[in-house]
Amino acid sequence: MSYHKKSSSSRKRVYHNSDFRQRNHKILSKPLIVGYMSVDVNREYFPNLSQLKFLNPISSGQISLDLNHNIDVAVKRTTDENDEKIDLLLKFISHNSEYINTTYKNLDFVTYRRTLISVMCSAFGVSESLTIRACLFRGTIYLCSVENANELLRRKSRTKDEEKYCAWGYKFEQYILSDQPNLTPNIEKPVIENEEFSLFYFTTLDNLNLLYGAQIDALLANESTTENPKSNDFETNLSYLRSNKFAELKTNREIQNIRQERIFKRYKLLRCWCQCILADLSGLLVGFRNDLGEVQRLEWFDTQDIVMYCKNEWNPQQALNFLHYFLSYVKNSFEPYRTEPVALQFEMDTDKIITVAECNNDILPNWFTLKT
Protein backbone atom coordinates (compact mmCIF):
# COMPACT_ATOMS: atom_id res chain seq x y z
CA MET A 1 0.00 0.00 0.00
CA SER A 2 1.31 3.41 -0.91
CA TYR A 3 0.86 6.52 1.19
CA HIS A 4 2.21 9.90 0.14
CA LYS A 5 2.24 13.29 1.85
CA LYS A 6 1.12 16.13 -0.38
CA SER A 7 0.99 18.98 2.13
CA SER A 8 0.04 19.63 5.70
CA SER A 9 -3.65 19.72 4.75
CA SER A 10 -3.76 17.34 1.80
CA ARG A 11 -2.64 13.75 1.41
CA LYS A 12 -3.09 10.92 -1.04
CA ARG A 13 -3.58 7.18 -0.90
CA VAL A 14 -3.07 4.88 -3.87
CA TYR A 15 -5.28 1.82 -4.05
CA HIS A 16 -3.91 -1.62 -4.94
CA ASN A 17 -5.93 -4.80 -5.44
CA SER A 18 -4.10 -6.36 -2.51
CA ASP A 19 -5.82 -3.86 -0.21
CA PHE A 20 -9.02 -5.93 -0.20
CA ARG A 21 -8.42 -9.45 -1.47
CA GLN A 22 -11.41 -11.67 -2.17
CA ARG A 23 -10.46 -14.07 0.63
CA ASN A 24 -10.98 -11.27 3.17
CA HIS A 25 -14.76 -11.13 2.90
CA LYS A 26 -16.51 -8.20 4.53
CA ILE A 27 -19.99 -9.15 5.69
CA LEU A 28 -22.98 -6.84 5.44
CA SER A 29 -25.59 -7.66 8.07
CA LYS A 30 -29.25 -7.63 7.11
CA PRO A 31 -30.29 -3.95 7.03
CA LEU A 32 -32.84 -3.13 9.72
CA ILE A 33 -35.50 -0.47 9.15
CA VAL A 34 -35.14 2.11 11.93
CA GLY A 35 -37.24 4.97 10.59
CA TYR A 36 -39.05 6.62 7.70
CA MET A 37 -40.00 9.96 6.20
CA SER A 38 -42.25 11.44 3.54
CA VAL A 39 -41.27 14.45 1.44
CA ASP A 40 -43.99 16.61 -0.09
CA VAL A 41 -44.29 18.81 -3.18
CA ASN A 42 -42.32 21.57 -1.42
CA ARG A 43 -39.55 19.15 -0.38
CA GLU A 44 -40.63 19.41 3.25
CA TYR A 45 -39.94 16.61 5.75
CA PHE A 46 -42.88 14.79 7.34
CA PRO A 47 -42.54 11.94 9.90
CA ASN A 48 -45.33 9.83 8.41
CA LEU A 49 -46.17 7.32 5.66
CA SER A 50 -48.12 9.71 3.44
CA GLN A 51 -45.85 9.17 0.42
CA LEU A 52 -45.61 5.37 0.72
CA LYS A 53 -46.59 3.65 -2.55
CA PHE A 54 -47.68 0.07 -3.25
CA LEU A 55 -46.75 -2.37 -6.00
CA ASN A 56 -49.69 -4.71 -6.49
CA PRO A 57 -49.26 -8.14 -8.10
CA ILE A 58 -48.48 -7.73 -11.78
CA SER A 59 -47.42 -10.27 -14.37
CA SER A 60 -44.15 -10.05 -16.24
CA GLY A 61 -44.41 -10.07 -20.00
CA GLN A 62 -46.04 -7.99 -22.71
CA ILE A 63 -47.75 -4.73 -21.78
CA SER A 64 -48.47 -1.32 -23.28
CA LEU A 65 -47.82 1.84 -21.25
CA ASP A 66 -47.51 5.28 -22.84
CA LEU A 67 -44.99 7.19 -20.73
CA ASN A 68 -45.83 10.42 -22.57
CA HIS A 69 -49.39 10.45 -21.20
CA ASN A 70 -49.96 13.78 -19.38
CA ILE A 71 -46.22 14.27 -19.11
CA ASP A 72 -46.55 17.96 -19.98
CA VAL A 73 -48.45 18.67 -16.75
CA ALA A 74 -45.87 17.03 -14.48
CA VAL A 75 -44.66 19.16 -11.55
CA LYS A 76 -40.90 19.12 -12.09
CA ARG A 77 -38.24 18.63 -9.44
CA THR A 78 -37.23 22.01 -8.02
CA THR A 79 -34.11 21.02 -6.08
CA ASP A 80 -31.28 18.57 -6.56
CA GLU A 81 -29.34 16.44 -4.11
CA ASN A 82 -26.48 18.93 -3.94
CA ASP A 83 -28.77 21.74 -2.82
CA GLU A 84 -30.24 19.67 0.00
CA LYS A 85 -27.03 17.87 0.97
CA ILE A 86 -28.14 15.56 3.81
CA ASP A 87 -30.54 18.03 5.45
CA LEU A 88 -33.61 15.78 5.30
CA LEU A 89 -31.63 12.91 6.82
CA LEU A 90 -30.50 15.24 9.61
CA LYS A 91 -34.11 16.28 10.24
CA PHE A 92 -35.02 12.63 10.76
CA ILE A 93 -32.17 12.19 13.25
CA SER A 94 -33.02 15.42 15.05
CA HIS A 95 -36.70 14.50 15.24
CA ASN A 96 -35.80 11.08 16.67
CA SER A 97 -32.61 11.97 18.54
CA GLU A 98 -33.48 10.24 21.82
CA TYR A 99 -34.48 7.03 20.01
CA ILE A 100 -31.36 7.03 17.81
CA ASN A 101 -28.95 7.91 20.62
CA THR A 102 -30.25 5.23 22.95
CA THR A 103 -30.96 2.40 20.50
CA TYR A 104 -28.18 2.80 17.92
CA LYS A 105 -25.12 3.95 19.83
CA ASN A 106 -21.58 4.11 18.49
CA LEU A 107 -22.50 4.88 14.88
CA ASP A 108 -19.44 5.11 12.67
CA PHE A 109 -21.19 6.63 9.64
CA VAL A 110 -24.40 8.44 8.75
CA THR A 111 -25.15 9.07 5.08
CA TYR A 112 -27.46 8.33 2.17
CA ARG A 113 -27.51 5.04 0.31
CA ARG A 114 -26.58 6.80 -2.94
CA THR A 115 -23.19 7.78 -1.49
CA LEU A 116 -22.46 4.19 -0.51
CA ILE A 117 -23.54 3.00 -3.96
CA SER A 118 -21.20 5.40 -5.74
CA VAL A 119 -18.28 3.96 -3.78
CA MET A 120 -19.35 0.35 -4.40
CA CYS A 121 -19.60 0.92 -8.16
CA SER A 122 -16.14 2.49 -8.17
CA ALA A 123 -14.70 -0.93 -7.36
CA PHE A 124 -15.26 -1.90 -10.99
CA GLY A 125 -14.29 1.35 -12.69
CA VAL A 126 -17.84 2.04 -13.83
CA SER A 127 -18.13 5.32 -11.91
CA GLU A 128 -16.37 8.53 -12.75
CA SER A 129 -14.34 10.44 -10.17
CA LEU A 130 -16.08 10.92 -6.83
CA THR A 131 -16.08 13.78 -4.35
CA ILE A 132 -17.36 13.05 -0.85
CA ARG A 133 -17.27 15.39 2.13
CA ALA A 134 -17.12 14.00 5.63
CA CYS A 135 -17.71 15.69 8.97
CA LEU A 136 -16.82 14.16 12.33
CA PHE A 137 -19.26 15.17 15.07
CA ARG A 138 -19.60 13.48 18.46
CA GLY A 139 -17.77 10.39 17.29
CA THR A 140 -19.87 9.84 14.14
CA ILE A 141 -18.80 10.65 10.60
CA TYR A 142 -21.46 12.21 8.36
CA LEU A 143 -20.89 11.66 4.63
CA CYS A 144 -22.29 13.72 1.77
CA SER A 145 -21.67 13.29 -1.97
CA VAL A 146 -20.58 16.52 -3.67
CA GLU A 147 -21.01 17.40 -7.32
CA ASN A 148 -17.59 17.83 -8.92
CA ALA A 149 -16.81 19.97 -11.97
CA ASN A 150 -17.45 17.19 -14.49
CA GLU A 151 -20.78 16.27 -12.92
CA LEU A 152 -21.85 19.91 -12.79
CA LEU A 153 -21.02 20.36 -16.47
CA ARG A 154 -22.90 17.20 -17.42
CA ARG A 155 -25.98 18.27 -15.44
CA LYS A 156 -26.05 21.76 -16.92
CA SER A 157 -25.60 20.40 -20.45
CA ARG A 158 -28.28 17.72 -20.11
CA THR A 159 -30.12 17.26 -23.40
CA LYS A 160 -33.88 17.37 -23.85
CA ASP A 161 -33.81 13.64 -24.52
CA GLU A 162 -32.06 13.00 -21.20
CA GLU A 163 -34.64 15.12 -19.37
CA LYS A 164 -37.39 13.20 -21.16
CA TYR A 165 -35.94 9.84 -20.09
CA CYS A 166 -35.94 11.04 -16.49
CA ALA A 167 -39.58 12.15 -16.77
CA TRP A 168 -40.49 8.77 -18.25
CA GLY A 169 -39.08 7.08 -15.15
CA TYR A 170 -41.40 9.06 -12.89
CA LYS A 171 -44.37 8.35 -15.16
CA PHE A 172 -43.61 4.63 -15.15
CA GLU A 173 -43.85 4.63 -11.36
CA GLN A 174 -47.25 6.34 -11.57
CA TYR A 175 -48.51 3.67 -13.99
CA ILE A 176 -47.40 0.84 -11.72
CA LEU A 177 -47.88 2.10 -8.15
CA SER A 178 -50.95 2.92 -6.07
CA ASP A 179 -51.58 4.90 -2.89
CA GLN A 180 -53.01 1.86 -1.08
CA PRO A 181 -52.78 -1.90 -1.66
CA ASN A 182 -55.08 -3.42 -4.29
CA LEU A 183 -56.11 -0.07 -5.73
CA THR A 184 -55.84 0.84 -9.41
CA PRO A 185 -53.07 3.39 -10.06
CA ASN A 186 -54.23 6.89 -11.03
CA ILE A 187 -52.37 7.95 -14.18
CA GLU A 188 -54.44 11.08 -14.82
CA LYS A 189 -53.15 13.28 -11.99
CA PRO A 190 -49.93 15.22 -12.57
CA VAL A 191 -46.71 13.48 -11.58
CA ILE A 192 -45.10 15.41 -8.71
CA GLU A 193 -41.37 14.78 -8.96
CA ASN A 194 -40.55 16.44 -5.62
CA GLU A 195 -42.47 13.85 -3.63
CA GLU A 196 -40.70 10.81 -2.21
CA PHE A 197 -40.79 8.20 0.53
CA SER A 198 -37.62 7.11 2.30
CA LEU A 199 -36.65 4.49 4.84
CA PHE A 200 -33.72 4.68 7.24
CA TYR A 201 -31.60 1.64 7.93
CA PHE A 202 -29.06 0.41 10.45
CA THR A 203 -26.54 -2.22 9.41
CA THR A 204 -23.01 -3.37 10.07
CA LEU A 205 -20.30 -3.84 7.48
CA ASP A 206 -17.76 -6.01 9.25
CA ASN A 207 -16.61 -3.76 12.13
CA LEU A 208 -18.41 -0.59 10.96
CA ASN A 209 -21.84 0.59 12.14
CA LEU A 210 -23.85 2.43 9.47
CA LEU A 211 -27.07 4.43 9.48
CA TYR A 212 -28.34 5.66 6.11
CA GLY A 213 -31.42 6.84 4.29
CA ALA A 214 -32.73 5.36 1.06
CA GLN A 215 -35.55 6.50 -1.21
CA ILE A 216 -37.97 3.59 -1.60
CA ASP A 217 -40.13 3.09 -4.68
CA ALA A 218 -42.69 0.57 -3.49
CA LEU A 219 -44.01 -1.75 -0.82
CA LEU A 220 -44.80 -5.16 -2.32
CA ALA A 221 -48.52 -5.77 -1.83
CA ASN A 222 -50.69 -8.86 -2.09
CA GLU A 223 -54.28 -9.73 -1.26
CA SER A 224 -53.53 -9.90 2.47
CA THR A 225 -51.57 -6.64 2.69
CA THR A 226 -53.27 -4.22 5.04
CA GLU A 227 -53.61 -0.54 4.26
CA ASN A 228 -51.16 2.12 5.30
CA PRO A 229 -52.05 2.66 9.01
CA LYS A 230 -52.12 6.47 8.54
CA SER A 231 -50.90 6.79 12.09
CA ASN A 232 -48.67 9.34 13.77
CA ASP A 233 -47.39 6.71 16.19
CA PHE A 234 -43.77 5.92 15.40
CA GLU A 235 -43.79 2.34 16.68
CA THR A 236 -47.04 1.48 14.86
CA ASN A 237 -45.64 2.65 11.56
CA LEU A 238 -42.26 1.03 12.15
CA SER A 239 -43.89 -2.32 12.92
CA TYR A 240 -45.98 -2.06 9.75
CA LEU A 241 -42.92 -1.34 7.60
CA ARG A 242 -40.81 -4.09 9.13
CA SER A 243 -43.54 -6.65 8.44
CA ASN A 244 -43.49 -5.99 4.69
CA LYS A 245 -41.13 -6.25 1.71
CA PHE A 246 -40.08 -3.57 -0.77
CA ALA A 247 -39.00 -3.25 -4.39
CA GLU A 248 -37.18 -0.98 -6.84
CA LEU A 249 -38.58 0.19 -10.21
CA LYS A 250 -36.60 1.13 -13.32
CA THR A 251 -37.14 1.79 -17.01
CA ASN A 252 -34.66 0.74 -19.68
CA ARG A 253 -34.51 0.84 -23.44
CA GLU A 254 -35.43 -2.51 -24.93
CA ILE A 255 -32.31 -4.67 -25.31
CA GLN A 256 -31.72 -5.64 -28.93
CA ASN A 257 -28.20 -7.12 -29.02
CA ILE A 258 -25.46 -8.66 -26.89
CA ARG A 259 -23.58 -5.38 -26.49
CA GLN A 260 -26.64 -3.63 -25.06
CA GLU A 261 -27.28 -6.55 -22.72
CA ARG A 262 -23.72 -6.37 -21.41
CA ILE A 263 -24.03 -2.61 -20.78
CA PHE A 264 -27.31 -3.26 -18.97
CA LYS A 265 -25.64 -5.84 -16.74
CA ARG A 266 -22.40 -3.95 -16.13
CA TYR A 267 -23.87 -0.55 -15.33
CA LYS A 268 -27.58 -0.47 -14.54
CA LEU A 269 -27.92 -3.84 -12.83
CA LEU A 270 -24.77 -3.29 -10.78
CA ARG A 271 -26.23 -0.09 -9.38
CA CYS A 272 -29.65 -1.71 -8.94
CA TRP A 273 -28.15 -4.63 -7.04
CA CYS A 274 -26.39 -2.18 -4.72
CA GLN A 275 -29.71 -0.39 -4.15
CA CYS A 276 -31.42 -3.69 -3.37
CA ILE A 277 -28.79 -5.18 -1.06
CA LEU A 278 -28.40 -2.01 1.01
CA ALA A 279 -32.17 -1.73 1.58
CA ASP A 280 -32.95 -5.46 1.79
CA LEU A 281 -35.25 -5.16 -1.23
CA SER A 282 -36.88 -8.25 -2.66
CA GLY A 283 -36.02 -7.27 -6.20
CA LEU A 284 -36.36 -5.03 -9.19
CA LEU A 285 -39.18 -4.48 -11.69
CA VAL A 286 -37.92 -3.21 -15.07
CA GLY A 287 -40.14 -1.69 -17.72
CA PHE A 288 -38.50 -2.09 -21.12
CA ARG A 289 -39.49 0.73 -23.46
CA ASN A 290 -38.98 1.73 -27.08
CA ASP A 291 -37.64 5.08 -28.30
CA LEU A 292 -41.16 6.54 -28.36
CA GLY A 293 -41.62 6.07 -24.63
CA GLU A 294 -43.87 3.03 -24.81
CA VAL A 295 -43.22 0.32 -22.23
CA GLN A 296 -43.85 -2.95 -24.02
CA ARG A 297 -42.49 -5.50 -21.58
CA LEU A 298 -42.08 -5.95 -17.81
CA GLU A 299 -39.47 -8.17 -16.20
CA TRP A 300 -38.90 -8.94 -12.53
CA PHE A 301 -35.41 -9.61 -11.16
CA ASP A 302 -35.01 -11.13 -7.70
CA THR A 303 -32.11 -9.50 -5.88
CA GLN A 304 -30.11 -12.74 -5.71
CA ASP A 305 -30.89 -13.57 -9.34
CA ILE A 306 -29.23 -10.30 -10.40
CA VAL A 307 -25.91 -11.59 -9.05
CA MET A 308 -26.13 -14.82 -11.06
CA TYR A 309 -27.28 -13.02 -14.21
CA CYS A 310 -24.32 -10.62 -14.03
CA LYS A 311 -21.68 -13.06 -12.75
CA ASN A 312 -19.36 -12.42 -15.72
CA GLU A 313 -19.48 -8.63 -15.29
CA TRP A 314 -18.93 -7.96 -11.58
CA ASN A 315 -18.54 -9.67 -8.22
CA PRO A 316 -20.78 -8.61 -5.31
CA GLN A 317 -18.18 -9.37 -2.66
CA GLN A 318 -15.70 -7.06 -4.34
CA ALA A 319 -18.21 -4.21 -4.08
CA LEU A 320 -18.67 -4.75 -0.34
CA ASN A 321 -14.94 -5.16 0.24
CA PHE A 322 -14.19 -1.91 -1.55
CA LEU A 323 -16.87 -0.06 0.38
CA HIS A 324 -15.30 -1.26 3.64
CA TYR A 325 -11.85 -0.29 2.38
CA PHE A 326 -12.98 3.26 1.56
CA LEU A 327 -14.97 3.80 4.75
CA SER A 328 -12.08 2.48 6.86
CA TYR A 329 -9.74 4.93 5.18
CA VAL A 330 -12.15 7.79 5.86
CA LYS A 331 -12.43 6.79 9.51
CA ASN A 332 -8.67 6.49 9.93
CA SER A 333 -8.16 9.91 8.34
CA PHE A 334 -9.89 11.56 11.31
CA GLU A 335 -7.67 9.93 13.95
CA PRO A 336 -5.19 12.87 14.22
CA TYR A 337 -7.97 15.35 15.01
CA ARG A 338 -9.00 16.14 18.59
CA THR A 339 -11.63 18.84 18.04
CA GLU A 340 -15.14 18.51 16.62
CA PRO A 341 -16.79 19.15 14.29
CA VAL A 342 -14.01 18.76 11.73
CA ALA A 343 -14.54 18.26 7.98
CA LEU A 344 -12.45 16.54 5.31
CA GLN A 345 -13.02 16.21 1.57
CA PHE A 346 -12.20 12.94 -0.18
CA GLU A 347 -11.69 12.81 -3.93
CA MET A 348 -11.28 9.49 -5.72
CA ASP A 349 -10.34 9.34 -9.39
CA THR A 350 -10.95 6.54 -11.86
CA ASP A 351 -7.64 4.91 -10.87
CA LYS A 352 -8.91 4.72 -7.27
CA ILE A 353 -6.37 7.25 -6.04
CA ILE A 354 -7.90 8.92 -2.99
CA THR A 355 -6.90 12.48 -2.12
CA VAL A 356 -8.00 13.95 1.20
CA ALA A 357 -7.87 17.58 2.29
CA GLU A 358 -9.34 19.70 5.04
CA CYS A 359 -12.45 21.70 4.11
CA ASN A 360 -15.15 23.84 5.64
CA ASN A 361 -18.04 22.15 7.37
CA ASP A 362 -21.01 22.79 5.09
CA ILE A 363 -22.61 19.42 5.85
CA LEU A 364 -23.90 19.87 9.39
CA PRO A 365 -25.90 23.10 9.91
CA ASN A 366 -25.98 24.90 13.25
CA TRP A 367 -29.58 23.89 13.91
CA PHE A 368 -28.37 20.28 13.99
CA THR A 369 -25.09 20.60 15.90
CA LEU A 370 -26.58 22.87 18.55
CA LYS A 371 -29.63 20.66 19.15
CA THR A 372 -28.29 17.15 18.79
Each residue's pLDDT tens digit, 129-157: 899 999 999 999 999 999 877 777 777 77
Mean per-residue pLDDT of the chain: 91
Whole-angstrom Cα distance, residue 167 to residue 276?
22
* CB atoms near residue 44 (< 10 Å): 11
pLDDT of residue 4: 31
Over the stretch 323-338, which tens digit does the pLDDT of each residue have?
999 999 999 999 999 8
Distance in Å from the first CA to the final CA of the chain: 38
Per-residue pLDDT at 18 exceeds 60:
no
Residue predicted with more confidence, 324 or 17: 324
Closest CA to 308 of 265, 251, 260: 265
Q: What is the mean pLDDT of residues 76-97?
A: 89
Whole-angstrom Cα distance, residue 262 to residue 179?
35
In sequence order, what DSSP letters do the residues of 146-213 get, joined into one string? ---HHHHHHHHT--HHHHHHHHHHHHHHHHHEESSTT-----SSPPBTT-EEEEEEEEEETTEEEEEE
Nearest-5° angle of CA 205, CA 117, CA 156? 155
Q: What is the mean pLDDT of residues 33-50?
A: 97
- Least confident span in 15-29, 53-67, 127-141: 15-29
pLDDT of residue 78: 85
Closest CA to 204 of 87, 83, 107: 107
**Residues 250-265 as b or e (16 or more Cβ within 10 Å = b):** bbbeebeeeeeeeebb
| CA quadruple 46, 48, 49, 50: dihedral, nearest 10 | -50
- Least confident span in 59-68, 182-191, 338-347: 59-68
Cα-flanking dihedrals φ and ψ of residue 360, to 5°?
A: -75, 150
pLDDT category, 60, cuts 50, 70, 90? confident
Closest CA to 38 of 237, 235, 172, 184: 237
pLDDT of residue 95: 95
Q: Is residue 2 within 8 Å of residue 51, measured between CB atoms?
A: no
Whole-angstrom Cα distance, residue 211 to residue 202?
5
pLDDT of residue 92: 98
Per-residue pLDDT at 5 exceeds 60:
no
Q: Rounded to whole angstroms, what are the CA distances from 228 to 51, 196, 285?
A: 10, 16, 22
pLDDT of residue 1: 28
pLDDT of residue 372: 65
Residue predicted with more confidence, 259 or 351: 259
Per-residue pLDDT at 19 exceeds 70:
no
Helix (H) or strand (E) segment spanning residue 279: none
Over the stretch 302-316, which tens digit does the pLDDT of each residue have?
999 999 999 999 999
Whole-angstrom Cα distance, residue 156 to residue 198?
27
pLDDT of residue 14: 59
Whole-angstrom Cα distance, residue 185 to residue 177?
6
* CB atoms near residue 100 (< 10 Å): 21
